[in-house]
């Protein structure tokens, strides 16, 4: 690298080199080749490069070919002119150097001069390229586009490299860099060479720099894909700056009306009622295939990652790349990743990425249209402001690796694949447990190994011991009790005050967590253990994903205990295509699944008049029903034909029906539980202990884990009562305990699972248990060879970043292989099921089974590839060429397997419409209401309608967040609390206002003949209306008033 920096070339020569590299897909030439070109002068060098460009000769080594062509056609020029005069980069007199430091500039004036158009464009570009040359250029020849890299892929240096003339050093406002790791272990300043740059920063950028960051980002967001200076004049910038003290919603409204409405789609508008709610501010940049970009945000989210929490929301930029179509696109992306992205006067650099393929798969096909599932996280690393940036924390570290070490000493892991897999732990959505880790004793105990019949430790093919306790440890009760048992409830995820809540009376059974302390990174589950001394956490070696570098013992770190999830009451489980297929292979007749489907479809069709069907659907879908509003209406004895009640049940029925064609059929006596191991070590290898709401259960159960596809991935195990377990967990609930005995962990037998947070499907459905016959557990037959990989600690900072960029854009290969294997397995399974139903030829079935076993091994390897680094390739003879019709892929054939039949039955009734009722009012609500109440809520309702219209302009998750914010606002107005049960207002006043809301909303709904308009009353005042209806009903009938009226469930069960 240093050699290349010492050989500057004229811009025209460099540009031609870059064009050849792009045209012929070649790496950039080395310093020797550049030196040969520099000796023959600009004109001769251009002539040589044009000959190379037009040559049809296949080039294997670009550098050697240049030297060969120079020797053959070049003529040596005068050395004084060969190198060209380096472009002058001098700071103008407007910015005299600080007398105390040559690298820090004085700050009186925010104006700068420039001499180089190329450098001017570099500064303005959000995706700049740090070129290795500083030669004078003609303005018309400039190839560095502000918002696109599609015309060139320049040679570039990493931002962290410290060399004379690099822009990271020449920014006048760059703070004095500090080295994180000095011999003494403490950060020490690293002096930076100080050239004298002379460039112009756009006046608009200087003016807008006075805005708080979220407002500044909104400005860039609302100019769409345009350059800021093309649509925002200096006068506009001054006017925008004048609003720096305005409320955020006022600022957004002005920006939208003046810019956003002209340059953005309506769905891109960032509309929020309460900008100061304490929610996470998310800043996003979308990059298209040609290198164009668009900012979007800030959007508000109820969730936060450790990365955002540790360094602040505004220091994190999420970058999403479109699906790359060719190698040139990948090169463009690598250029952006290495050069960084400029937002205002702050430059963000690549930090970590995470493959969101599984998340995108859950969200469905619509989300796939948005591009690559890979999310990159860039962090703020430097400022180009011509004054001292007050926010210098992340800039005070010399390399990006130094910043990563603040989270964990990730360079100690053995491979590059594990490097990024471990670092991406900081991207998990978590809630921080407010505990001082300095006062917590963190102890390490051994993993329990797998032991064979002779008492010997069982080892894998690499000689490593197999373990029973992979990913699970312990936590003392006093720490576990700090986490609320209903952590999964949305109100805790959305409550900005959650992190100061303590002293909840019950500890959750299991806590899935991430623990960061002094360079260590721990991932796994912690089982509550009453036997531990207070303030103690016990971890195992299998949980420690990154160990501390002893050389960095005195350096700063972001210590934290982050909670991902906790064990909780499971909702009713549903079947899936994979489960139906595996259960069918195990002997469950197809008639059983068709009966389940018919029953569910009957519930959907009779939901509006059958109380049993209505209750079943309402109960199954409480998690999407405004915290169980329909169940609450059942309990208040609201008539089933009440207009809103019926409409709401219809919506839930539609949701219940949505996945039926894909095999998502509700199943009784089945649920998902988080898994761990038996701390008493009393369970035998075929036994489990299962704890539900009413305690431990006994009897045979089926156990499975997604995404298992092997015939033996469904186990039949014996659930038994373990008395000794109560000494550890007390009354904690909801989990499944596996044995620590035997040759192999049961979890590992089920699709290679472990106990770091995996959920296990458990069923004690008597019909399934009666029919199902298990197969032999999965053991790997076809193993993908381990890929060779360099140790991160053996690489320089520049080499490490280069390798990570390549890893970033190769991740798609892993998900592609996994997807291909899964689809091909589905096709073979469909054929296998068809042959099984038709008593087909055993020879053909065995041939199909052999292919499936090969695919299963490849599939499991591909799922682990981002962590292991294995290069999984699906052989052509295993790839599917046509697909069953229910997979919605072409070319397709009509399947007669159980999965095809389920799909066809669903298609017959999917478009059936439910009856529509006229809008009428409940007689219990026909009472006198003070005029003041009615008038107040009529006025509020008018405001509500406008606010809800604004909230619903979005077409993504932000729409739901914005709409929920509006509802929350009006609930607060009514209750002066978050909900009815927490209100301290006079109860009669609340009831009067709730009735006023009801009548206002229903009158408007009747005038529009739209029952959906009734929703305002129930979503805002539902609990109060139910309480009032229950009270009046009990008064009229003499029934005892409880949470649910005693007759509400008559005949339902």
- Indicate whether 985 and 949 sit together in one domain: yes
The total of other beta-carbon atoms located within 10 Å of residue 592's CB is: 18
Contact 439, 535 (CB under 8 A): yes
- Closest by CA to 961, choosing from 210, 279, 99, is 279
- Indicate whether 930 and 1032 sit together in one domain: yes
Contact 669, 573 (CB under 8 A): no
**Residues 863-896 pLDDT 10s:** 988 888 888 999 999 999 999 999 999 999 999 9
Helices of type H across 162-259:
167-170, 203-208, 213-222, 228-231, 234-241, 248-255
Cα separation, 783 vs 786, in Å, equals: 9
Helical packing angle, 611-620 and 590-606, nearest 10°: 110
Backbone angles phi, psi at 1006, to 5 degrees: -65, -40
Evaluate whether residue 915 is within a structural domain: no
Helix (H, G, I), strand (E, B) or coil at 872: coil
- Indicate whether 637 and 674 sit together in one domain: no
Contact 759, 735 (CB under 8 A): no
Going from the C-alpha of 678 to that of each of 415, 527, 687, the distances in angstroms are 33, 10, 10
Helix (H, G, I), strand (E, B) or coil at 191: coil
Evaluate whether residue 506 is within a structural domain: yes
| CB-count burial class (<10 Å; 0-12, 13-18, 19+) for 1044 | middle
Backbone angles phi, psi at 933, to 5 degrees: -65, -50
Cα separation, 573 vs 705, in Å, equals: 13
- Indicate whether 933 and 808 sit together in one domain: no
Side-chain half-sphere of 1035: how many Cα atoms within 13 Å? Answer: 7
Evaluate whether residue 103 is within a structural domain: no
- Indicate whether 929 and 1020 sit together in one domain: yes
Cα separation, 129 vs 340, in Å, equals: 8
Query: What per-residue confidence (pLDDT) applies to 126?
Result: 45
544 bridge partner residues: 522
Query: What per-residue confidence (pLDDT) applies to 808?
Result: 81
Cα separation, 849 vs 1027, in Å, equals: 59
Q: Who contacts 18 (Cβ-Cβ below 8 Å, separation ≥6)?
A: 28, 143, 152, 153, 154, 155
CATH code assigned at 748: 2.40.40.20
Pairing of strands 670-677, 735-738: parallel
Show the tokens assigned to 1014: 């009734």
- Indicate whether 649 and 677 sit together in one domain: no
- Indicate whether 834 and 940 sit together in one domain: no
Last residue of a domain, one of 831, 864, 881: 881
Cα separation, 633 vs 1029, in Å, equals: 9
* Sequential DSSP letters for 471-521: TEEEEEHHHHTTS-TTTTSHHHHH-TTGGG----SS--SEEEEEEEETTEE
Evaluate whether residue 749 is within a structural domain: yes
Query: What per-residue confidence (pLDDT) applies to 497?
Result: 37
Evaluate whether residue 170 is within a structural domain: no
Query: What per-residue confidence (pLDDT) applies to 816?
Result: 82
Q: Who contacts 693 (Cβ-Cβ below 8 Å, separation ≥6)?
A: 569, 733, 734
Pairing of strands 670-677, 759-763: antiparallel
Query: What per-residue confidence (pLDDT) applies to 484?
Result: 62
Q: Domain range spanning residue 872? A: 792-881
Show the tokens assigned to 789: 């990989």
Query: What per-residue confidence (pLDDT) applies to 328?
Result: 72
Residue with tokens 């499971």, as numbered in its chain: 570
Query: What per-residue confidence (pLDDT) applies to 500?
Result: 37
Residue with tokens 């909104």, as numbered in its chain: 218
Helix (H) or strand (E) holding 840: none
Contact 765, 704 (CB under 8 A): no
- Indicate whether 551 and 431 sit together in one domain: yes
Domain count, the chain: 6
- Closest by CA to 70, choosing from 132, 25, 13, is 13
Query: What per-residue confidence (pLDDT) applies to 839?
Result: 74
Q: Could you say which residues of the chain have pLDDT below 50?
A: 1-5, 77-199, 359-370, 489-504, 1046-1047, 1050-1053
Evaluate whether residue 776 is within a structural domain: no
Last residue of a domain, one of 621, 653, 685: 653
- Indicate whether 602 and 546 sit together in one domain: no
Evaluate whether residue 434 is within a structural domain: yes
Residue with tokens 């060879």, as numbered in its chain: 785
Apex 317 CA angle, 302 and 566, nearest 5: 35
Cα separation, 427 vs 562, in Å, equals: 11
- Indicate whether 942 and 832 sit together in one domain: no
Cα separation, 200 vs 197, in Å, equals: 10
- Indicate whether 946 and 995 sit together in one domain: yes
Show the tokens assigned to 870: 């294995």
- Indicate whether 679 and 755 sit together in one domain: yes
Last residue of a domain, one of 564, 594, 621: 564
Helix (H, G, I), strand (E, B) or coil at 284: strand
Per-residue DSSP letter, 703: E
Evaluate whether residue 730 is within a structural domain: yes
């Amino acid at each position: 690298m240093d050699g290349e920096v010492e050989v500057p070339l004229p811009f025209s020569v460099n540009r031609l080199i870059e064009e050849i590299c792009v045209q012929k897909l070649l790496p950039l030439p080395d310093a020797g080749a550049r030196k040969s070109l520099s000796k023959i002068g600009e004109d001769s060098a251009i002539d040589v490069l044009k000959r190379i460009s037009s040559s049809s000769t296949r080039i294997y080594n670009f550098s050697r070919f240049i030297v060969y062509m120079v020797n053959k056609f070049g003529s040596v020029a005068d050395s004084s002119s060969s190198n060209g005069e380096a472009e002058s980069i001098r700071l103008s007199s407007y910015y005299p150097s600080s007398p105390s430091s040559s690298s820090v500039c004085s700050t009186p004036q925010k104006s700068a001069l420039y001499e180089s158009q190329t450098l001017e464009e570099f500064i303005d570009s959000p995706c700049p390229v740090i070129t290795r040359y500083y030669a004078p250029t003609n303005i018309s020849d400039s190839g560095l586009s502000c918002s696109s890299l599609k015309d060139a892929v320049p040679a570039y240096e990493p931002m962290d490299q410290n060399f004379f003339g690099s822009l990271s050093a020449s920014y006048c406002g760059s703070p004095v860099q500090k080295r994180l790791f000095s011999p003494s272990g403490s950060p020490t300043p690293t002096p930076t060479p100080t050239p004298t740059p002379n460039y112009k920063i756009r006046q608009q950028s200087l003016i807008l720099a006075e805005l708080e960051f979220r407002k500044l980002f909104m400005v860039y967001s609302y100019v769409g894909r345009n350059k800021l200076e093309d649509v925002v004049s200096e006068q506009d910038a001054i006017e925008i700056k004048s609003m720096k003290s305005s409320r955020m919603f006022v600022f957004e409204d002005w920006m939208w009306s003046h810019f956003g409405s002209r340059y953005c789609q309506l769905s891109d508008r960032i509309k929020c009622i309460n900008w100061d709610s304490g929610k996470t501010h998310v800043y996003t940049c979308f990059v298209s295939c040609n290198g164009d970009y668009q900012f979007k945000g800030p959007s508000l989210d109820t969730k936060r990652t450790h990365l955002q929490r540790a360094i602040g929301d505004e220091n994190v930029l999420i970058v999403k790349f479109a699906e790359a179509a060719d190698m040139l696109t990948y090169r463009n992306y690598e250029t952006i990743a290495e050069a960084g992205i400029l937002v205002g006067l702050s430059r963000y650099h690549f930090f970590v990425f995470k493959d969101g393929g599984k998340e995108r798969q859950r969200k469905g096909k619509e989300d796939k249209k948005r591009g690559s599932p890979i999310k990159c996280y860039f962090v703020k690393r430097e400022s180009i402001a011509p004054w001292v940036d007050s926010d210098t924390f992340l800039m005070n570290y010399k390399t990006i690796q130094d910043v990563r070490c603040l989270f964990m000493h990730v360079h100690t892991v053995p491979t590059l694949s594990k490097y990024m897999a471990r670092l991406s732990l900081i991207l998990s959505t978590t809630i921080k447990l407010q505990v001082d880790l300095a006062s917590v004793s963190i102890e390490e105990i051994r993993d329990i190994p797998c032991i064979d019949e002779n008492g010997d430790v069982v080892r894998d093919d690499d000689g490593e011991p197999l373990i029973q306790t992979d990913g699970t440890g312990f936590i003392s009760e006093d720490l576990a009790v700090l986490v609320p048992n209903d952590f999964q409830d949305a109100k805790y995820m959305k409550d900005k005050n959650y992190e100061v809540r303590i002293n909840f009376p019950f500890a959750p059974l299991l806590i899935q967590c991430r623990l960061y302390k002094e360079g260590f990174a721990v991932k796994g589950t912690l089982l509550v253990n009453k036997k531990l001394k207070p303030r103690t956490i016990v971890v195992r070696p299998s949980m420690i994903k990154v160990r501390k570098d002893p050389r960095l013992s005195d350096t700063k770190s972001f210590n934290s205990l982050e909670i991902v999830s906790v064990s909780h009451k499971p909702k009713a489980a549903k079947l899936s295509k994979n489960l139906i297929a595996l259960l069918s292979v195990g002997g469950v007749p197809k008639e059983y699944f068709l009966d389940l489907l018919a029953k569910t479809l009957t519930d959907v069709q009779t939901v509006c008049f059958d109380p049993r069907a209505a209750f079943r659907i309402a109960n199954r879908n409480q998690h999407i029903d405004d915290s169980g509003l329909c169940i609450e209406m059942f309990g208040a004895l609201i008539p089933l034909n009440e207009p809103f009640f019926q409409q709401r049940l219809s919506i839930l029925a539609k949701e219940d029906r949505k996945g039926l064609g894909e095999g998502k059929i509700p199943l009784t006596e089945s649920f998902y539980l988080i898994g761990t191991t038996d701390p008493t070590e009393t369970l035998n290898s075929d036994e489990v202990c299962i704890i539900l709401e009413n305690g431990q259960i006994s009897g045979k159960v089926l156990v499975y884990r997604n995404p298992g596809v092997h015939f033996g991935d469904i186990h039949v195990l014996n659930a038994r009562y373990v008395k000794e377990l109560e000494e550890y967990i007390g009354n904690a609930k909801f989990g499944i305990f596996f044995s620590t005995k035997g040759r192999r962990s049961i979890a590992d037998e089920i699709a290679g699972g472990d106990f770091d947070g995996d959920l296990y499907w458990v069923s004690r459905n008597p019909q399934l248990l009666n029919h199902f016959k298990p197969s032999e557990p999965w053991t790997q037959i076809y193993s993908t060879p381990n890929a060779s990989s360099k140790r991160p600690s053996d690489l320089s900072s520049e080499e490490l970043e280069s390798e990570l960029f390549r890893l970033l854009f190769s991740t798609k290969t892993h998900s592609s292989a996994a997807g291909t294997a899964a689809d091909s397995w589905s096709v073979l399974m469909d054929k296998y099921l068809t042959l099984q139903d038709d008593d087909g030829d055993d020879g053909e079935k065995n041939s199909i089974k052999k292919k499936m076993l090969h695919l299963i091994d490849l599939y499991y390897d591909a799922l682990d590839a981002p962590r292991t680094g294995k290069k999984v390739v699906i052989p052509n003879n295993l790839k599917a060429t046509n697909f069953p019709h229910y997979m919605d892929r072409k070319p397709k054939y009509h399947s007669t397997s159980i999965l095809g039949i389920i799909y066809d039955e669903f298609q017959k009734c999917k478009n059936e419409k439910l009856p529509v009722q006229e809008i009428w009012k409940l007689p219990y609500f026909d009472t006198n209401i003070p005029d003041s109440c009615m008038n107040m809520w009529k006025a509020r309702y008018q405001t509500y309608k406008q606010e809800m219209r604004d909230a619903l302009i979005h077409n993504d998750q932000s729409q739901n967040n914005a709409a929920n914010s509006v509802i929350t606002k009006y609930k607060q107005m009514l209750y002066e609390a978050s909900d009815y049960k927490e209100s301290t207002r006079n109860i009669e006043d609340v009831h009067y206002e709730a009735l006023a809301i009801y009548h206002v909303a229903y009158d408007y709904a009747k005038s529009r003949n739209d029952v959906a308009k009734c929703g305002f009353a129930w979503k805002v005042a539902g609990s109060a209306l139910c309480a009032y209806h229950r009270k009046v009903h009990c008064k009229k009938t003499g029934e005892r008033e409880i949470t649910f009226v005693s007759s509400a469930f008559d005949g339902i069960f």
